[in-house]
Structure 1
Amino acid sequence: MASECVVSGNNSEFELRRKLKYFFMSPCEKYRTRGRKPWKLTLQLIKIAIITGQFAWFGLSNEMTVVFREENLTSFKHLFLKNYQERKGIYAVYTKQEVHEHINYIIMRYLTLRSVTVGNHAFQRVNGTDTPLTLCQRFYTQKKISPENETFSISPNVQTECVYIYSTKPFNITDFVLDFKRLLSLDVHMKIKAINLQTVRHDELPDCYNFSVTVVFDNSAHSGRIKVSLHSGAHVSVCAHANVSGSSESRH
């Protein structure tokens, strides 16, 4: 009985060692030992390939979205800012005439957008009507300043007034009165639509973009220099009607 217990114990120990040794073998060693194909390894490699492909697709799609937004922002600056030049320091105006000229320039560029732009830009439409350009000024409700006498009277309350300019209705910039002594800022808001067609080359349906473009005339310092800046936000959505015909080769 004792010898049988010893043999049984040795067999259990040997079997345990064999299983541990097999467990820590590489897939190639397991294949040479038992001739079993590494299905689990193959499955893991397939999963890695799928995940890698998804990451690559997501990265490419995200890169095209970022590039499209940045390029449109640059285009809007050149379209709506008069005499705009990149890397030329602060973009600003210094006289009342310059302010009115720049506002009028923005309005005219917006109204003639579809005939001026080289991109596929258009007005945003709501219920069949083009959205208007919005011109809003923020100013102190009361302000009396006399630098020569070193006196002033001012109220911290701020008021906002807006006018809406439609592409189908005439507008005269001289009708929009600006009190520069009270003026804090002047904001010009525009809604512009565009389609990112570059995704077609990668067998993806193009996305539609709704850009919210704002030109800000900042006069909060009242220093004699009104700084001008342009900002753009974008909302990406699936186009309402999309039709890509032909093969990928015919679209290149």
Structure 2
Amino acid sequence: MERMESLPDENTGTEEENETPERNQGNRRNVQGYSSCPTTSSNLNQMEEKMRRKLQFFFMNPIEKWQAKRKFPYKFIVQVIKIILVTFQLCLFAHNRYNHVNYTWDNRITFSHLFLLGWDSTREINAYPPGAGPLAVYKIDEFYNTLDYAYAGYANLSNAIGPYSYNDDNNNMPDPVFCQYNYKQGIIHGFNESYEFNSEINETCINFTLPNGQLLKSKHYIKDSGMEINFAALVRAKLMFSLKTINFRAAGPITPPECVRFDVEIIFDNEDHDGQMSLVLEAEPYKLVCNGDKNYITDNKIDQILRSILNILVILICSASLMLCSRAIYRAQLLKELTVQFFRRAYNKELSWDGRLEFLNIWYIMIIVNDLLIIMGSAIKEQIERNQFTNDQWNVCSLFLGLGNLLVWFGVLRYLGFFKTYNVVILTLKKAAPKIFRFSFCALLLYAGFMFCGWLILGPYHMKFRSLATTSECLFSLINGDDMFATFSIMSKKSPMLWWFSRVYLYSFISLYIYVVLSLFISVIMDAYDTIKQYYSEGFPKSDLQTFIGEPCIEEVSSGLYRTQSSSSLNAMMNSLFCCNFYRSAYSKIGGGGSNLNIL
């Protein structure tokens, strides 16, 4: 009863100040009926009450803010619309990117059959362990025969099933280019263990120019051209040419075919100088502008217009979200400075570090990051679809859109956190995060030791330990119990001592990480979960800021108390707390009873 009588009205001279005694009695009876409302002493300072109410409103969720001030949660609606638009955009882009990558890969396989001597279908299947060894040449005659075979396939392009054409407006065959990269000097005298060597690499190139229909004899042609191939000094050789084609698979009612140019490189890699020259074919796609024909409506812009509208809408909604969240962070920092000054003047103490961190919302930072990623990805996507990129930018675009969409869906956890049941996961991760980082750092040191040891000792004898990356992947899979028997059985028996070492090494790593480290990792998370459950039953620990704010009762939130204006008294409080005109002028933007503080 004393609480409502002592609570000062927030707008002097308004209609609420002249309430009838009957209305006040009704209000007092209404408050007395709920024991959840805290009582306020009669000497409660007006400034303190207004500050508390402003902070209570600031930390409310959108539903409570709607109940308190009937403030429409437009920022929440922006996020909902953004999730729908960016997800729809990602689904369309993922479908198109899959067709693009699959089409590029299939053409690369086709080129391998057309231009690579010794290529067979078993090399097209990703098998583990690999079903075939590396494609390579081991004899000088095989090197020249491979060049001859590639030239013959390029000259006889009309025999290919695919609709390939030469990179010439009249479909005349341009000359393929052959380049070799060799050491400036590399002569080996094996009979007396001596050599002459200069590590500088020189590049020399020639064109294979032959009359139509004539087959290439590369060994004689290269010699007659004045180029000499010294295989002892040869580092790398390339045969390069370009092909054009049209992809009809993408064509549909509103989608025209795609025109593509492939820059093909047949690479002979001899960097190891181990007698094995590996053979690799690369085909880099470049999207071209199609001229079309009279039987297909190439000027149909429906698909491009619809995709452009979607991209523009995504950019606009993400820009709005970016500005709203940036403004929210800025205003939160202004309110933090106000709170710091209030604690300093009213209680003669500094606001704690935990209390200051309450004003820094990590969710907003994550939203700003995903907005920037999606805006950049949408801009690149628009340029790809308008054929304004001459090279392949699909992977860059997918990286921006994929990471942005990942963070967008992570942001949904914020709104699930408003419900007690779903908030347990978020609070558990937040509570366990510091311990997990410290524990993971210690576990990572042990992991690094095993990784470097396995790479050094087992690398030459075990295919899973050939490189540092594959060693790390192998050990990580062992932690999860994957492919254990294969890891044990693949180890070579050329060195019995290392074979026995591999057993001790693998058993030690598996036992340590599965039975000890992984179990301790789970116990850290379970300990945090038990702590959160205890907090739910006994109450969460509070910082000095949370203790000052208290808990707004349900009746006050829905009674319209927060809809009263308090800008005049708070402006006076700003004048008394802030000596700096910058803060006073900046805070005047978020005055007005805190109505503009309605952030996400």
| Unmatched runs of 5 consecutive residues or more in structure 2 | 1-16, 31-65, 72-76, 124-130, 224-228, 298-600
Q: Distance in 1 between matches of 2:19 and 2:275?
A: 106
Q: TM-score, normalised by structure 1?
A: 0.74
Between Structure 1 and Structure 2, how many residues are aligned? 225
Is 1:214 the equivalent of 2:265? yes
Task: Tell me how far apart the structure 1 counterparts of residues 172 and 26 of structure 2 sit (CA, whole Å).
Answer: 88
- Specify the alignment match of 1:121 in structure 2: 164
8 Å contact from structure 2 (residues 258, 288) kept in 1? yes
Asked whether the equivalents of residues 137 and 143 of structure 2 are also in contact (C-alpha less than 8 Å), the reply is: yes
2:112 equivalent to 1:100 = no
Correspondence 1:52-201 to 2 at 5 A:
53-85=88-120, 86=123, 87-113=131-157, 115-125=158-168, 130-166=173-209, 171-173=216-218, 174-177=220-223, 178-201=229-252
Q: Distance in 2 between matches of 1:158 and 1:47?
A: 53
| Cα distance in structure 2, aligned partners of 1:11 and 1:203 | 67
Matches within 5 A, 1:31-42: none
Give the structure 2 partner of residue 230 of structure 1: 281
Query: CA distance change for structure 1 residues 242 and 21 in 2, over 3 Å: closer, same or farther?
Result: farther
Distance verdict in 2 for CA 1:59–1:9, change over 3 Å:
farther
CA contact (8 A) 1:196 1:208 kept: yes
Bigger shift: residues 46-55 or 161-170: 46-55
Cα distance, 1:7–1:122 mapped onto 2, change above 3 Å = farther
Larger Rg: 2
Distance 1:229 1:237 in 2: 25
How far off its partner does 1:112 sit? 1.0
d(CA) in 2 for partners of 1:3, 1:227: 93
**Matched residues in 1 for 2:27 and 2:292: separation?**
70
CA distance, structure 2, for counterparts of residue 244 and residue 57 of structure 1: 27
The separation in 2 between residues aligned to 1:145 and 1:47, in whole angstroms, is 66
Note closer, same or farther for the CA distance 1:152–1:208 as it changes in structure 2 (3 Å cut). Answer: same
Amino acid at match of 2:145: E
**What's 1:249 paired with?**
none
User: Greater strand share, 1 or 2?
Assistant: 1
Give the letter aligned to residue 285 of structure 2.
A
Tell me the equivalent position of 1:29. none
Distance in 2, matches of 1:65 and 1:167, equals 35
Say whether the 8 Å CA contact 2:165–2:171 is kept in structure 1: no
Unaligned runs of 5+ in 1: 25-40, 247-252
- C-alpha distance 244-55 of structure 1, shift in aligned 2 (>3 A): farther
RMSD, aligned CA: 3.6
Q: Distance in 1 between matches of 2:148 and 2:67?
A: 82
TM-score (norm 2): 0.33
Q: CA deviation at 1:237?
A: 3.0
Q: Give the letter for the 2:148 counterpart.
A: N
Query: The residue matched to 2:196 in structure 1 has which SS?
Result: strand
CA distance in 2 between partners of 1:10 and 1:129 (Å): 98
Q: Identity over aligned residues, as a percent? A: 23
1:160–1:3: structure 2 CA closer, same or farther, 3 Å change rule? closer
User: Does the 8 Å contact 1:130/1:166 carry over to 2?
Assistant: no
Q: Which residue pairs with 1:239 in the alignment?
A: 290
Distance 1:3 1:100 in 2: 103
**1: CA distance between counterparts of 2:18 and 2:186?**
110
8 Å contact from structure 1 (residues 205, 244) kept in 2: no
SS of residue matched to 1:148: helix
- In structure 2, relative to structure 1, the CA distance for the partners of 1:94 and 1:12 (3 Å cut) is same
One-letter amino acid of the counterpart of residue 92, structure 1: A
Q: Kindly indicate which of the two structures has a greater share of residues assigned to helix.
A: 2
Q: Is the contact made by 1:139 and 1:183 (CA closer than 8 Å) also made in structure 2?
A: yes
- What CA deviation, in whole Å up to 9, does each residue of 1:27-74 have, x standing for no partner? xxxxxxxxxxxxxx9xx9998776655443322211111110111111
Deviation of 1:76 (Å): 1.1
Contact 2:177 2:208 in 1 (8 A): yes
The Cα shift of 1:203 comes to: 3.5
CA deviation string 1:74-108 (max 9, x = no partner): 11111111120215220011111111111100011
The alpha-carbon distance between structure 1 residues 228 and 78, as it changes in their structure 2 partners (threshold 3 A), is same
| Residue deviations 1:198-229 (CA, integer Å, cap 9, x gap) | 01146311111111111111122222221111
Amino acid at match of 1:103: L
Whether contact under 8 Å (1:90, 1:227) holds in the other structure is yes
